[in-house]
Amino acid sequence: MKGQLFDLTGRTALVTGSSRGLGRAMAEGLAEAGAAIVLNGADGDRLAKAAAEMRAAGYTVHEARFDVTNEADVLAAFATLDAQNIAVDILVNNAGIQFRRPMVDLETADWRRVIETNLTSAFVIGREAAKRMIPRGQGKIINIGSLTSDLARATVAPYTVAKGGIKMLTRATIRPSMPGSWAARRPSAGASPAS
């Protein structure tokens, strides 16, 4: 942990979509700061390989194989974490996809796939994490946003809309004056641009 900016020793972080790409890099960064990591992915083989590599590097890693777009999978994953006494202190809603096609050629199924993966999953997983963070009186929820939420591009319309939704979801969950907001009950949420 040489030259680290902060210490996460004793904390556990769940990073969605962390078996590869940006999610994996974020998980490694959090692990370097001392956090135990819950890696997530839908591909069991890829997830197991990523977890083994991180364990070999000396990190504490748990695996949570679930499809972020399947609410039943999400609920089951949190129930499993609860049964294993793994308390998520930090949630990074990172999972996301992009589908490039002009809007006039875009199928509704592709639109829904991007919205469900990039936006709805952040709500469902964030809600489940917050339900557990609130009674403990602590927790952080980090929603990964994108500059495209302000700088729309016609060939990635569902991605742009989903990331705009992430921005507003984050605002809705952090506004302490709003009855029912997660932040009003203690965990904090934040958005981070990442594209």
Give me the active site residues, please.
Answer: 159
Distance CA 90, CA 29 (A): 13
3-state secondary structure at position 65: strand
Considering only CA atoms, which of 108, 133, 125, 129 is closest in space to residue 166? 125
- The answer to whether 60 and 36 are in contact (CB under 8 A) is yes
- The answer to whether 18 and 94 are in contact (CB under 8 A) is yes
Q: What are the distances in angstroms from CA 104 to CA 50, 55, 100, 118?
A: 38, 46, 12, 21
Evaluate the CA torsion angle 154, 160, 165, 170 in order and state its sign: negative
